[in-house]
Structure 1
């Protein structure tokens, strides 16, 4: 049994976690990597505490928006990369005999407890929610020795330079060397940047008999020279009174956050895992904070110091909607809104007048060119510059945000974005002799070695979703758009998904014949449900496509199993879905529920959170399904205030394997079709509304704003 597996089992069986009100996630023992550490965050700043060596505790400090910001170039992963700040080294006189870590979810702080022959010392970290301050407290009541705490700054270089298979740009100009300083009672480290501005890590010490409190902040600016002064002024004004107030606001913020929705599972392993992802989301981003990149606030050597846009961001945000956390999802929405001009500059010049796109990876400005153009050969271009559908898939999250809010303002922004993203695809289409539209240039199906081909299923499934969604949105305003007929015609006559005897292919003339971690060729099944389990004629095709994909195991990775779990959940096969998630947790998830592929990547555990939600609630094909795929061993399951399409809040309870109650709160009014496994449900509407029951067991609700529906199983 591997060491990570052993550590995970230790954690699972030593968890002290009760969901009502939350409790404590224990990580035992504290290890020597970020995957065995305890962490905090407020969506901008964050900490990660683990062991540096047998005499030292390491406390990493991160700030999510600290990116190099040089001019656009093809070397963006070096010249516009996420930068690591550094860490505090807490060094002891004696060797560490034992160390453990705890994350207190309810109070949102982390605690490292270290035992030596001079007693026990504790390191408590709290990243305050409403201010950009970290409290690092050294609790020394039971410690007779001495310690030192020093800031160790990382070099201001792209972490990608540390990997042998990457090449530093020949023209790369290094950032200036950072400098240490002290002003009054504040220590600081200033790191200027070649592109302008820079960042400063500053801290001061407030001591009492039993506790040393280090008050820490990180300032950052992309322009000017006064970023250090502003950082020091900010910290100097943060006195004891402000700390007391900020701690109270911190606790209230997290209490409100956890109350937005709940999920109660009978399985301690999955309960603790789910709750940790909920904590992780709010630690990594907030409504008014930068969107999540691949690391969140927790940096480590990585070849992925950026945003990845052909799967990672989409998966990272996938659980936010059902969890009723539009506050978290909004960080992605505002990132897209702020960078529309870069999305336009990403497409070739002939299409910029009405089209937008994004390539594989970018900094927070979403500058990432796509070079696809009729008549232009791209055989030697980078694969990420040949991915057509990334932006449309990213807008799938934007669409879910709209459907959860029904905001006219969000609709107006989404419609324009979606239309211009689809326009780029339309420019690349042609009609064949049979009247079918096809993609007339080769595009790249992410992650597949032979994926540069015509009519990739990745792009066809994304385009089909985009066309259907545009038609749906335009129908809300009576089909007024001048391109309505074009969208309808292309959707009706778009070439079929390529398939062979093994199911869906990668692309035209490209079968799935080698292991492939990305489910880019199966996205018509999930997340778009264009080919779904309600279509009985397609069930065999779905089954063999998934089985063939999963049969080639060599390059499957963690999110291969979250994708499979979600597909099994769509089929109503909860046991198969859970078995797939079991593989993920047992083989890929790290001791503190982080995940790595060459470096830390945040999306896979969060995608697993979405898969767990989909065992309990799904919406596709116009129908909301409650408890559609509960595993057989989960007899008692309940959730409250899961957010569904149309802004409806859903709560439900299942006991001894039977659904007993479902409640729907309509925030904005509207219609909702429900599919339940109740044999004889009674329906009571509180407020204005009506319902009908169909022969197939579907319940259709038509509700006014604020109405609540209670559905109970009659004995």
Structure 2
């Protein structure tokens, strides 16, 4: 049969459409290019273009993090003495200081005065927003995008005489007066989050012919500004803006002014053509077609968010990507890099979605922070090797926080997984030798500094925890080793063994020895994964870290049956019994992953529907809590973070395709309705760089299409309804006999393709 792949762009039903004013910043139309972000919202009086730039940080450290005793040894001492207040004073309270923090850039305001109505539309295919403002009997249309490859945003306004005021506005930081400290810390709950606690020199406003801008100096070397240029072309007002910063170099302001003038001269349409071309290539990397159009829409919108806030040569996504809050407050959790779940879930889906270059932002970031990780390992953990703080700034410095999680030793291992996954999904053995293996090896050095034999001869850590069990109480220090820590340690040494074996290094015997010295994961009498060897989860909890051996570490394989299957089934059943009362958004998307490993497509999809319909804003942003108060969970707040969106996209991909154990399994966990009414995916990436496409309808797999990035042997599970398989290559057709449900192998040359169908 001939394979006809769909044209790979999001359909119109995936777009964002608002027929009424958008009144909250976290429901805004989002635009971005990995470095610059914009949120468009408001009722026209005004219409806000809230701007962000990914590398704008106030990096001033809290004094506690600079103390000589801000280290693991002191933490162990305080825990042994049960000195909870001492722990909080040294390691936790510093997180409540205003800095370090991500900071917003400011905004552009269009004020139309009294508006009858305003409607907004975002076309995902080309990442352009279209806004219609109706005032009396007149209409003004606004089109805007952030250029995909240039550091500029563009706006064109028809009937621009309707605009009463156009201005750029700096954030409302505190203004520094003479003899005033760098910041004035306000302890009240609302006030301590205020941007006014960041006290800077007064902002300066400037104008020059067709340009206007402001410059905001901070208390460090950083200065930045929004620069705006405008020009009337035909009957439209054409605006180009950018966020410049001293990060860009000594002549940053002049460089940005020149860029804006060049874009004004080129015109809107020419700039738009280049922008559209980038997004066309982006959407051409992979696609899906689901019977459930709302989950299909979620996947496309999430990929749009990913493409907007993660790019090669730009900072990777922190908690809010390139969309820092515009509410007069510091961003939720100061917009930092949380490495106990948030960064990890944010970069789960890009490999299978075949957005390699955009995802490399995170890999490059971690690799570039190796010197900082080595310094932190030495200073905090008194260890050789590598370890980054689990809650950190853009330059890898600790912010503090609940130390059992923000300064946990093994969270570094979870970061290691992205080097392993990148190697396996690309098949790049040079990356393995030069980056992945060295990164994991340096991490292991730091772990081995603190792993000591217990009475049973097994290796144990001096402190152990499981995010974020028992919050920051003394009970949060679990009996070593927690299943969270142990899962990561077992993953680390087993992965190092595999890598050393591929590289033919003698060190593989060392990693095998360390793996064998680790205890087994704690499982209770009901075959449920425990928190630690003497404690089981007794109540609903948001973080499923005790079960991360199921996913994302894949230390158990449901397909093997036996004990692995029993533990996965029992642990899922236990989570069901404990309920969702204290879950947040990522709890649902993570639970969906567990169900996909179990092959339960209906349950996997249901968790995603609960997440999408109840814990996400109208623009798709994950808002963490049951902010609509539907009774889904006990959390009713709405702080915006992105990790659950990306986790949800990955869960859809895992429902459609699994390759984690080097076997290609198509449609392993989709609802029956999808099997019957149709589902397909194009160019998902599997292990060793293989690109995989497949289709199912009427409960029958129609085809599997493979394209190899490199020469190799590939294993495929027979999901057809026949024991006779036909493999079509360019110059030959081969028949294979394979029982339904069993595996068969195919050899492909580099760039070779084949189509697999049932006879």
TM-score using structure 1 length: 0.89
Residues 299-346 of structure 1, C-alpha deviations (whole Å, 9 max, x = no match): 214332211111111111111011101011110011011111111122
Which one of 205, 210, 216 corresponds to residue 185 of structure 1? 210
**Contact preservation (8 Å) 2:37, 2:322:** yes
Alignment CA distance shift 1:161-1:697 (3 Å): farther
Alignment CA distance shift 1:218-1:259 (3 Å): same
> What is the match of residue 515 of structure 1?
540
SS at structure 2 position matched to 1:633? helix
Worse overlay, 55-64 or 422-431: 422-431
**Contact preservation (8 Å) 2:386, 2:443:** yes
Question: Structure 1: how far apart are the matches of 2:54 and 2:380?
Answer: 35
Which one of 326, 331, 340 corresponds to residue 361 of structure 2? 331
**Contact preservation (8 Å) 2:157, 2:238:** yes
> What is the match of residue 119 of structure 2?
100
**Contact preservation (8 Å) 1:689, 1:701:** no
Question: Structure 2: how far apart are the matches of 1:166 and 1:360?
Answer: 26
Which one of 87, 97, 105 corresponds to residue 107 of structure 2? 87
Report the alpha carbon displacement of residue 386 of structure 1 after superposing the two structures with TM. 3.8
SS at structure 1 position matched to 2:303? helix
Which one of 450, 453, 456 corresponds to residue 482 of structure 2? 456
Question: Structure 2: how far apart are the matches of 1:123 and 1:648?
Answer: 43
**Contact preservation (8 Å) 2:156, 2:268:** no
Which one of 32, 36, 56 corresponds to residue 66 of structure 1? 56
**Contact preservation (8 Å) 2:44, 2:112:** no
Which one of 130, 144, 147 corresponds to residue 128 of structure 1? 147
> What is the match of residue 753 of structure 2?
708
Question: Structure 1: how far apart are the matches of 2:184 and 2:718?
Answer: 50
**Contact preservation (8 Å) 1:85, 1:153:** yes
> What is the match of residue 592 of structure 2?
565
SS at structure 2 position matched to 1:620? coil
Alignment CA distance shift 1:146-1:156 (3 Å): closer
Report the alpha carbon displacement of residue 232 of structure 1 after superposing the two structures with TM. 2.4
Alignment CA distance shift 1:68-1:114 (3 Å): same
SS at structure 2 position matched to 1:320? coil
> What is the match of residue 679 of structure 1?
721
Report the alpha carbon displacement of residue 180 of structure 1 after superposing the two structures with TM. 1.0
Report the alpha carbon displacement of residue 163 of structure 1 after superposing the two structures with TM. 7.9
Alignment CA distance shift 1:391-1:193 (3 Å): same
Report the alpha carbon displacement of residue 633 of structure 1 after superposing the two structures with TM. 1.4
Determine whether 1:600 maps to 2:615. no
> What is the match of residue 669 of structure 1?
711
SS at structure 2 position matched to 1:298? coil
**Contact preservation (8 Å) 1:118, 1:144:** no
Question: Structure 2: how far apart are the matches of 1:664 and 1:466?
Answer: 31
Alignment CA distance shift 1:490-1:584 (3 Å): same
Question: Structure 2: how far apart are the matches of 1:350 and 1:310?
Answer: 18
CA RMSD of aligned residues (A): 2.9
Determine whether 1:210 maps to 2:210. no
> What is the match of residue 526 of structure 1?
551
Report the alpha carbon displacement of residue 573 of structure 1 after superposing the two structures with TM. 0.7
Residues 596-642 of structure 1, C-alpha deviations (whole Å, 9 max, x = no match): 24522011111100001111001223322111011111121111111
**Contact preservation (8 Å) 1:200, 1:231:** no
Report the alpha carbon displacement of residue 571 of structure 1 after superposing the two structures with TM. 0.9
For structure 2, the 5+ residue unaligned runs are 1-5, 66-93, 175-182, 625-637
Question: Structure 2: how far apart are the matches of 1:183 and 1:693?
Answer: 76
Report the alpha carbon displacement of residue 285 of structure 1 after superposing the two structures with TM. 1.4
> What is the match of residue 377 of structure 1?
none
Which one of 287, 291, 297 corresponds to residue 262 of structure 1? 287
Report the alpha carbon displacement of residue 173 of structure 1 after superposing the two structures with TM. 7.5
Question: Structure 1: how far apart are the matches of 2:735 and 2:533?
Answer: 46
Determine whether 1:470 maps to 2:470. no
Which one of 317, 332, 357 corresponds to residue 303 of structure 1? 332
Residues 64-122 of structure 1, C-alpha deviations (whole Å, 9 max, x = no match): 1111233585357733311111222221232x333322111112111222323243223
Determine whether 1:698 maps to 2:743. yes
Question: Structure 2: how far apart are the matches of 1:462 and 1:422?
Answer: 11
Question: Structure 2: how far apart are the matches of 1:519 and 1:101?
Answer: 38
> What is the match of residue 12 of structure 1?
none
**Contact preservation (8 Å) 1:285, 1:328:** yes
Report the alpha carbon displacement of residue 244 of structure 1 after superposing the two structures with TM. 4.5
**Contact preservation (8 Å) 1:260, 1:641:** yes
**Contact preservation (8 Å) 2:118, 2:132:** yes
Report the alpha carbon displacement of residue 403 of structure 1 after superposing the two structures with TM. 1.6
Question: Structure 2: how far apart are the matches of 1:111 and 1:120?
Answer: 13
Question: Structure 2: how far apart are the matches of 1:496 and 1:384?
Answer: 22
For structure 1, the 5+ residue unaligned runs are 1-16, 371-379
Worse overlay, 638-647 or 239-248: 239-248
Residues 396-453 of structure 1, C-alpha deviations (whole Å, 9 max, x = no match): 122211122232442111111101112222222223343333x231123111114322
> What is the match of residue 467 of structure 2?
446
Question: Structure 2: how far apart are the matches of 1:129 and 1:90?
Answer: 23
SS at structure 1 position matched to 2:263? coil
Report the alpha carbon displacement of residue 353 of structure 1 after superposing the two structures with TM. 6.0
> What is the match of residue 421 of structure 1?
443
Residues 486-522 of structure 1, C-alpha deviations (whole Å, 9 max, x = no match): 2102212321112224511112323212321111111
**Contact preservation (8 Å) 1:64, 1:296:** yes
Question: Structure 1: how far apart are the matches of 2:513 and 2:737?
Answer: 35
Match runs of 1:570-581 below 5 Å: 570-581=597-608
Determine whether 1:549 maps to 2:542. no
SS at structure 2 position matched to 1:443? coil
Alignment CA distance shift 1:288-1:144 (3 Å): closer
Question: Structure 2: how far apart are the matches of 1:346 and 1:585?
Answer: 38
> What is the match of residue 670 of structure 2?
630
Query: How many equivalent pairs are there?
Result: 680
Which one of 381, 388, 396 corresponds to residue 409 of structure 2? 388
Question: Structure 1: how far apart are the matches of 2:491 and 2:116?
Answer: 57
Alignment CA distance shift 1:356-1:213 (3 Å): same
Question: Structure 2: how far apart are the matches of 1:121 and 1:469?
Answer: 58
> What is the match of residue 8 of structure 1?
none
TM-score using structure 2 length: 0.84
> What is the match of residue 618 of structure 1?
658
**Contact preservation (8 Å) 1:451, 1:507:** no
Report the alpha carbon displacement of residue 655 of structure 1 after superposing the two structures with TM. 1.5
> What is the match of residue 77 of structure 2?
none
Match runs of 1:42-81 below 5 Å: 42-51=33-42, 53=43, 55-70=45-60, 74=65, 75=94, 78-81=98-101
**Contact preservation (8 Å) 1:692, 1:701:** no
Alignment CA distance shift 1:66-1:146 (3 Å): closer
Question: Structure 1: how far apart are the matches of 2:233 and 2:118?
Answer: 24
